[in-house]
Amino acid sequence: MPAEIKEQWKKVIDRLPRYKPRLQDESEFFSVGRDEAASLFVPSMANSDQESFSFLFCGVGDARHLFATLACIAEHAREKSSLCSKKIYFTLVDINPAVFARDMLVLRMLNDFVKEAAEDRPVTAAAISYVYATQVMPSWIYDRVQTAIRGVIGRLKADSRRALDEYIDFNWMPNMTLLDFNWEATKSDGPSPMLNFTPLGVVNSLFAKFPAYMLGPNTSGVFAHLVGFFSYMAVVWGQSKDQIQIELVLDDMVGFMEKSEFHLNVFSHVPDRFDAIHMSNIPDYVGGPLTTFLHGLPILHTGGASEMTSHVMSSALQWATHDEFLVEHLLLADRGQIENTFSAALTKKSLQIESIFSDKIFGASGAVLAQSLTWTRKTNEHLAWSQLIRRKDLELWLHMHFLKLSLPFKRPERDSNGLVYAPLNMAIFFRLITHLSRVGYPPHWLSDILDSLCGGEPITQARAPRAMIVDAAQARKVHAMRKMSIKPFVQEFRTLLAIWRPLFSFGIIPSDVELIPDLTTVREYRLQFTVPADVILCTKPVLALVFWNTRENGRPPAVGLREALLDDEHADPAYEAIRRQDGRVYVISTWEWETKTAIATFWFSEATLKAMFPQKGDGNSSGSSSGWDAYVWRTDSWTPVLGPLPITQDTLKIGDVWDRRGILTIHMPHADPATSIP
């Protein structure tokens, strides 16, 4: 990959958000997991001739799956001594630093256990057990934990040591590892850490697949099981620590995956292709299989032994079948088409689970999507011509994705069982286009589809969703051909197209070359809102930035904005001119919000924002005022949250340009993915 393109990819990943923002940008802290500890090491790996294995744990939490994997490797090494000489890489990814503070403490004490005299080990094992599985601890355990904390701080590099020292001084209290004060401080009703777990529940989840006989025949009681488990883990750690390398990565799961895909991670000594990936229920909140298929599967080794595992928690009871779940997220109703398009295949074991649970729900944990299902990457070859989605169907499918991203159907504001999240912004559309190009879709097909959307009035048979969940019938539905205005969303689309254009492996020939802004005119902008004291800070990624031409439109509707922006059979006719004319309303889904400063940051075409301000002598000039207002709008209930904020030369802060070199002409070679992206 050319260096310039690599630089552009890094900038896209680092500077463009992939999710709609939340008013509360602090990550929630879950100190103790709920799912059964499961090993990523599968029996077939024991007979592999690989010299090393690499495992990725996303949303690692309390590291229970890491411990289960270590235990499983140790068990197989008893019978397969060659495993003892293989290098094992573990990459742990989480977005919350409090998670790693807790995990580092546990790992530190495991390491201490190995080095200690036999008479000191029971205290260390007990300390780990209390930290891991209880809400309170006796004072003598507290003292041992404090010693471990000082040990962790002492081993860190100077800058990291200072940062963690400040963090621990402020946050760590007697129930220290259960609290993240950064998160607790955001709650209007005061701190309320997650304490609704029991030591027995933790033991049950740890021992779900861990053979209890390894603790000895006389082990009984919850505390004895915890001490026995961590004593065993310490022994395993001591025996295999020269083989093991653990990397902690503070990052969003999908961001890390995408950096790995393009070899952009800074950890050059750590593999960026994996034998197994465990995602827990993180996909619930980051776009489901559309996101994980685009970014998780490409960093798996090809072949049946490499697997990517996840389960659904927030909406498991919503889906009677796996296909229903896939349709909602991928908008494809044919399993074979899904497998071809994303080179994805369920493992044999997951197919068996699917057949048992499909169309049956046995309580909260008995739905098919509540089970851990595992996908493999079939190939990295181009699709055969017969495997491609037909051209007209591809256009319909991509138009459906565009409309679903722009105009998500209404859903409840508050979290509830069965709530299906819609967190993705328009950036995912361009990632999908990149994927389709890579797997072999003809360049002119993709270019024509982008051009049709860029014009702002595609002729299409697609429609925005008409239910919260898109089912197979809706995904297959071919509506009457209609010239549809998408002008409220097209300026964001054109801006993102300009940014992605040099990253595509194909050229774009727009009908009007002036529609796509030059990268030297794409700028970063900032707006600072006022957040009233009575505003409830939204914790779901559902927010859009709306620019409304108040001078020409009057005030926006307090309810019904979605119907005002729709341009189909269900549209509100009162707003027809507003949604069909240029310069009346702009909706931006790809932007960032900082809670502390109440600043919204976004990239946009300079010419579009300049055009908001009346030019001198046009009769409408009013100093620095534009006649436009900015709002923060929810896209679940479609109601305003913040605003109006008048757009003036004072309130609109102008930042740097995206690229000072203009349109880049270097494109990634249109080659087999196996050679262009190993």
> Can you tell me the mean pLDDT for 489-494?
98
Radius of gyration of the chain (CA): 27
Strand bridging mode 585-588 / 591-594: unpaired
- Asked if residues 216 and 228 have their Cβ atoms less than 8 Å apart, the reply is yes
Residue 342 and residue 188: Cα distance in Å, rounded? 43
Q: Which pLDDT score, from 0 to 100, does residue 673 have?
A: 35
User: Is the pLDDT confidence value at 215 over 80?
Assistant: no
pLDDT band, residue 534 (cuts 50/70/90)? confident
User: pLDDT, tens digit, for every residue of 144-169?
Assistant: 988 988 888 877 755 555 555 555 55
Work out the mean pLDDT of the chain and round it to a whole number: 86
Q: Which sequence spans correspond to the domains of the chain?
A: 27-377, 398-670
- Asked if residues 664 and 519 have their Cβ atoms less than 8 Å apart, the reply is yes
Residue 80 and residue 85: Cα distance in Å, rounded? 10
User: pLDDT, tens digit, for every residue of 246-302?
Assistant: 999 989 999 999 999 999 987 767 789 999 999 999 999 999 999 999 999 999 987
Cβ-proximal residues to 37 (8 Å cutoff; 6+ apart), any chain: 64, 65, 67, 68, 205, 206, 207, 208, 209, 210
User: pLDDT, tens digit, for every residue of 15-25?
Assistant: 999 999 999 88
CA 259 to chain centre: 13
- Asked if residues 296 and 279 have their Cβ atoms less than 8 Å apart, the reply is yes
Cβ-proximal residues to 625 (8 Å cutoff; 6+ apart), any chain: 646, 647, 648
Q: Which of 73-82, 187-196, 360-369, 662-671 has the lowest mean pLDDT?
A: 662-671
For a pLDDT cut of 90, what percent of the chain falls above it?
A: 58
- Asked if residues 21 and 51 have their Cβ atoms less than 8 Å apart, the reply is no
User: Cis link prior to 644 (omega < 30° from 0)?
Assistant: yes
Cβ-proximal residues to 175 (8 Å cutoff; 6+ apart), any chain: 135, 136, 137, 193
CA 277, 282, 283 angle in degrees (round to 5)? 85
User: Is the pLDDT confidence value at 102 over 90?
Assistant: no
